[in-house]
Structure 1
Amino acid sequence: MDLITFGESMVLFNPDLTGPLRYVNNFRKSLAGAESNVAIGLSRLGHKVGWFSKLGNDEFGRYILSVIRGEGVDVSNVVTDIKNPTGILFKERFSHVNPNVYYYRKHSAASNLMPEELNEEYIKNAKILHITGISLALSEKMRKSVFKAIKIAKDNGVLISFDPNIRLKLWPLEEAVPVILEVARLSDIILPGVDEAELLIGLKDPEGIAKAFIEMGCSTVAVKLGKDGCYVSNKEESHFVPGYKVEKVEDTVGAGDGFAAGFLSGVIRELKLFECAEYANGVGAMATLVSGDMEGLPTWQQLMEFTGKAKHIDR
């Protein structure tokens, strides 16, 4: 398996109108979840990927399982919870600003994933274990599961990729910072946004951010700079890599997960650091072209065309 990831995926209800939800009557159902977004992104890019979680024994859980399996992601290690429900969330949209998100995930099935439910053989046979700060925020049980997965990976030479993904609606900053930094010190690849890094280590400049995380023990750092692209660094080289211009952004949610999928695809393909960053920027940009968290994630051919490395044949 090229990469294994795990975390909570939820059913997302997208309103058909902008404005406060009290005036909205119709919604479109889709999938949301940072880790499953990354898994789907990598699967579309041609990689062998596994995702697991704990889902409720309900129609929402069956829907999530069906969608992720249908994207070519291995879901053989998903656990079913007969007591707790699958989480859901609603978006609230206003023109030209990021949407508000309302979570209904407290005591969800995924937040009750326990360390003893992890399959050690499954994790240790992956090339990369990808985790996010969202899983750390869900519950004490899930947090212990994350640290157990990290230990399994470390003990078996599996690379650890970490996206801090700070969600202050899930836990307060003073609780989040020490836990996220503890995981950062255990990670090989870290993918922070520049705003997240400021919250975590008090630095704003990408070069200083990358240097700080490398000093913590990370071997590769990719600092997300939004539309400006990213700054990537390891112990041998560093680059500012410009982003791709998007004329009309439909939805920014999921762009960071697309960035992670593009970057990790480059790592799996053993590409140069600059190329990993180019593809990360490309997938992140393409994710914003479509409404939905994962719907805009491209195939490898689509990414090559978008980045100008292959010619698009229209008809």
Structure 2
Amino acid sequence: MDNKLDVICIGAAIVDIPLHPVSKNIFDSESYPLEKICMTIGGDAINEATIISRLGYKVALMSRIGKDVVGDYILKFCEQNNIDCFSVNIDPDIDTSINVGLVTEDGERTFVTNRNGSLWKTNIDDVDFKRFKEARLLSLASIFNNPLIDGESLVKIFTEAKKNNMLICADMIKRRFGEGFEDIREALGYVDYFFPNYDEACLITGKTNLDEIADIFLGCGVKNVIIKTGKDGCFVKNSNETLIVPIYKYSKLIDTIGAGDNFAAGFITAILDGKSLKECAEFANVTASISVEYLGATTGVKSKQQVEERMKEYIISKI
């Protein structure tokens, strides 16, 4: 039977309110005028799902939201972007999470988040396992982002995915509650493509050398380690090859919110396109390079043609 879906994304679906540009002396003023305040879609899973859908693949979202105005906004956004939200759990007893993003002039950011919102309440009960047979690839949008999806839950999710012959991709964020490598070691053994950034990878492994970091992940069973290295692009390693893939160097940096999610979405799209590991990393870098030129995680990338046009520029820039 043909798959009804290409990808299932599990994780957060929230709303971001980015404030830009914000300096560290924001509290020194009674009133702090900004160039722009806006409401955008946010959350790792819906960010990935949005970009994957715009890049041409069928994707379903599994998450938890509240039965409120913000939740309605998310559902309408999914409809507008052809994201299957049939398996999104609408919980009338919680608030849909809103994150306020404080974005500095140089594009860096930090989030103010509601610890009682939907992001913090999402758990394994929000995973619709019976739909795993419909898709080719599972993306766990960020290990540690939903605190109730712990290592044991990850193992259950990934085991079921492998029973259905799915490829597994996973990103991560910095641990929230002091979790250690041993908490996720078993789960990582199921992962085909792992996308931590350098700081996250250093923190969880205790290493700073890229080769050593990658070897730790490979040693516990990850098939392909892709470490996002910011302005340097990404470092890629598996049992057969090691690659350093540079960024598109002409991006006009505005906001890094969602850049990692766009990277993962670009990489996943390239996997589904059948591209080589190097080509996947290049496509991911280029997808992220568009994202950072816009305020908000899903406002930059609009279509596959847009990314492919920049890919041409990227290739020329390396000659």
TM-score, normalised with respect to structure 2:
0.87
3-state DSSP of counterpart to 1:4: strand
Corresponding position: 1:95 with 2:105: yes
CA deviation digits over 1:90-144, x for unaligned, max 9?
122332251231011x23234334434432221232211111335x443436776
Determine if the alignment matches structure 1 residue 238 to structure 2 residue 242.
yes
Separation (CA, whole Å) in 1 of partners of 2:148 and 2:50? 27
Match of 1:210 in 2: 214
* Contact kept in structure 2, 1:11 and 1:29, CA below 8 Å: yes
Give the letter for the 1:129 counterpart.
L
Tell me the distance in 1 between the aligned counterparts of 2:22 and 2:123: 39
Alignment partner of 1:222 is 2:230: no
**Offset, 1:197:** 1.3
**Unaligned stretches of 5+ residues in structure 1:** none
2:280 counterpart residue number:
276
The alignment's C-alpha RMSD in Å is: 2.4
Which shows bigger deviation, 86-95 or 269-278?
Answer: 86-95
Amino acid at match of 1:270: G
Q: Hey, what's the Cα distance between the residues in 1 that align with 2:286 and 2:246?
A: 10
Instruction: Give, in angstroms, the shift of residue 260 of structure 1.
Output: 0.6
**Structure 2: which 5+ runs fail to align?**
none
Q: Distance in 2 between matches of 1:268 and 1:17?
A: 37
Aligned residues: 305
Relative contact order (C-alpha < 8 Å, sep 6+): which is higher?
2
Instruction: Please state how far the C-alpha of 1:303 moved relative to its aligned partner.
Output: 0.9
Letter in 2 for 1:35: A
CA contact (8 A) 1:16 1:28 kept: no
Give the residue type in structure 1 aligned to 2:170: F
AA matched with 2:87: N
Instruction: Indicate how the Cα distance of structure 1 residues 141 and 242 shifts in structure 2: closer, same or farther if over 3 A, else same.
Output: closer
The answer to whether the 8 Å contact 1:113/1:145 transfers is no
Which amino acid is the alignment partner of residue 271 of structure 2? V
The question of whether the paired residues in 1 share the 8 Å contact of 2:62 and 2:127 is answered with no
TM-score if structure 1 supplies the norm length?
0.88
Distance change (3 Å), C-alpha of 1:62 and 1:308: same
Pair 1:85 & 2:95 matched: yes
Conserved 8 A contact 1:132-1:165: no
Q: CA distance change for structure 1 residues 267 and 282 in 2, over 3 Å: closer, same or farther?
A: same
Q: Secondary structure at the match of 1:235?
A: coil
Contact residue 225 and residue 238 of structure 2 kept, 8 A: yes
Give the counterpart of 2:53 among 13, 38, 43.
43
| CA 1:116–1:164: 2 relative to 1, 3 Å | closer
Deviations 1:8-29 (A, max 9, x none): 2222122366342763478311
SS at match of 1:276: helix
The answer (yes or no) to whether the contact 1:17–1:24 under 8 Å persists in 2 is no
How far apart, CA to CA, are the structure 1 residues paired with 2:202 and 2:55?
31
Equivalent residue number for residue 139 of structure 2: 130
1:161 to 2:169 alignment: yes
Q: Equivalents in 1 of 2:271, 2:221: separation in Å?
A: 18
What's the secondary structure of 2:156's corresponding residue?
helix
Moved more, 260-269 or 85-94: 85-94
Residues 224/157 of structure 1: CA separation in 2 closer, same or farther (3 Å cut):
same
- The aligned residue for residue 109 of structure 1 is 118
* Partner Cα distance (2:19, 2:79) in 1: 25
CA contact 1:30–1:292 (8 Å) conserved in 2: yes
CA distance in 1, matches of 2:201, 2:150: 23
> 1:249 maps to what in 2?
253
Q: Secondary structure at the match of 2:247?
A: coil
Asked if 1:2 corresponds to 2:6, the answer is yes
Greater CA drift, 291-300 or 278-287: 291-300
